Structure 1
Amino acid sequence: MQPWAIKGELILNCNCTVFCPCVVSLGKHPPTEGHCQTWGGVRIDSGHYGDIDFSGLNIGLLIEIPGMMSRGNWKVALFVDERADDATFDALVKVFSGAAKGTTGLFQVLVGEFLGAERQPVTYETEGNTRHITVGRKIQGIVHPVGGADPDKDLVITNTQYWMGPDITVATATKGKVRAYGRVWDFDGRSAEICQIDWHGPK
C-alpha cells in the first residue's frame, strides 16, 4: 500500500429537498426522498499517491444509494481530470474506489457497483462564495452557501464525525444537472454541502 494524501475542497449536490440528514445522522437516517442521488466535485489543492503528484487536478463523482447511506449497496462513477497521465489516473481510481484504504477506504465496504472511471475535462471554479463545476457534458453545477444571520459568515455544521470532514457548510444548488450512465438528474434548488477535505491513506 502506498501512502497518499489529498487536501482541497469537495462539494456535493443531492436530491434531498432540505439539508442532507446523512451529515448529522452519519447515515442512520434515510435521505429525505428515501434514496440518495448525488453528484460531487473535488478540487485537489495538494495531494499525492506515493511519488505521484495530484496537485491542481479536479475530480467529478456520481453516487447513487438505494436507502440509508450506512446500509451500503452504493453505485459510484468517477470522472478524472483529463490532464492526468495514465499513472495518475490509475492512482486516483485507487483512492476514490477505496482500494488505497485510508479515508476513502469505506468505499470498499459501501460500494456495491463501481459503474466506471473515465477521463473528462473537469473544472472547479470559485467566484465569491459560489462554486461552478463542469464535468464535460456529464455534470453542470453551481453551488453556493445558504444565508445565515451574519451575511459575512457561512452557515457551518462543525465538529461532526462525517467521513468527508468535520466542518460542513450548508449550501444549495442553483444548477445541478447530470446526464451520465443512464441517469438524467436535475437537482436545481436541492441540498448541497461544501467541505474542506484533508484525507490520507495508510502511513
Structure 2
Amino acid sequence: MASDRIAVAAPIDNRAAGAPRSGQGTIPWAIKGELILNCNCTVFCPCVVSLGLHPPTEGHCQTWGGVRIDAGHYGETDLSGLNIGLLIEIPGMMSRGNWKVALFIDDRASDAAYRALVDIFSGKAKGTTGLFSVLVGEVIGVERQPVSYETDGKTRHITVGRKIEGVVYPVGGKDPDEDIVIRNTKYWMGPDITVATASKGRVRAFGRVWDFGGRSAEICQIDWSGPGKG
C-alpha cells in the first residue's frame, strides 16, 4: 500500500496552503488507551525511574513504540479506535532533548484525525505531550501506514506496515498472575509502568535497521489530555 509521506527537516505545519491557523494549543483533546515502547537498553530502561536524568544503558536511546487509542477526541474530531506507531532516537539522556522522531499515523484516520494526531504527537496541541515541542529537535518523517495493535493474553503484537514488527510481554514475577509494575512515578507516559521485554522488535524505516528482541520494553495505560494539562 502506498504511503503518504512527509519528508520533514523543519517543524510540521499541517495546514493546507492558504488555510487559517488550526487553533493549535487551544483545542481541548484527550486520549485514553495503552502505549508500549521497546528500546535498545539491555535491562529495564533507567529513564523511567530517573525521569531522564540517567543515560540509557547503551549511552544513547533507540526506541520504537505503539499507541492504541481506546477513546479519544481532538475538539469535535473522534480519534477512538485508531493506532499510532513511533520511532524515537535520543543521543544521550532523555531530558537533554535533541530527539529525532518519526510518526506513523493509522491509515484509517480521516484527514481531520490525521491532522489532530500530528498536532498531539508533535507537541503543538500542548497538554500531556506538549514536552515534545521542547525535546524533539527533528521530525524525520510522518507517514500514513496500516497500524495493528493486538493483545493476546498479556502479549502485545504490533505491526506498522513493513516498517515495524514487535511482540512485547510483561517480565514474569514470583506470582505469575501479577505483573511487575513500577507505580506512582512522575514519568511522562503515566504513573504506573509495567516492566516488559520483547520477543520481537524489528524496525526498518528512515534508514534505521534495528532488532531489539530480548531488550527492554514498557507497557503503560495512558490518560492524556490538553491543552491545560502538562
TM over 0.5: yes
Deviations, residues 16-57 of structure 1 (Å, cap 9, x unaligned):
000000000000000000000000000000000000000000
Q: In 2, distance between residues paired with 1:118 and 1:3?
A: 24
- Aligned partner of 1:107 in structure 2 is 132
Q: Does 1:128 align with 2:153?
A: yes
- After superposition, residues 129-148 of structure 1 pair within 5 angstroms as 129-148=154-173
SS of the residue corresponding to residue 76 of structure 1 reads strand
Q: In 1, distance between residues paired with 2:87 and 2:179?
A: 26
Deviations, residues 77-120 of structure 1 (Å, cap 9, x unaligned):
00000000111101100000000000000000000001111100
SS of the residue corresponding to residue 56 of structure 2 reads coil
- Aligned partner of 2:99 in structure 1 is 74
Q: 1:33 aligns with which of 58, 65, 77?
A: 58
* Higher share in strand: 1
**Structure 1 runs, 4 residues or longer, greater than 3 Å off:** none
- Matched to 1:77, the amino acid is A
- Aligned partner of 1:21 in structure 2 is 46
Q: How far has the Cα of 1:143 moved from its partner?
A: 0.1
Q: Does 1:54 align with 2:103?
A: no
Deviations, residues 114-166 of structure 1 (Å, cap 9, x unaligned):
11111000000000000000000000000000001110010000000000000
User: Greater Rg, structure 1 or structure 2?
Assistant: 2
CA RMSD of aligned residues (A): 0.5
TM-score, scaled to structure 1? 0.99
- Aligned partner of 2:204 in structure 1 is 179
Q: In 2, distance between residues paired with 1:115 and 1:108?
A: 14
**How many correspondences in the alignment?**
203
- Aligned partner of 1:63 in structure 2 is 88
What runs of 5+ residues in structure 1 fail to find an aligned partner?
none
Identity of aligned residues (%): 82
Q: In 1, distance between residues paired with 2:114 and 2:199?
A: 30
TM-score, scaled to structure 2? 0.88
Q: In 2, distance between residues paired with 1:53 and 1:149?
A: 41
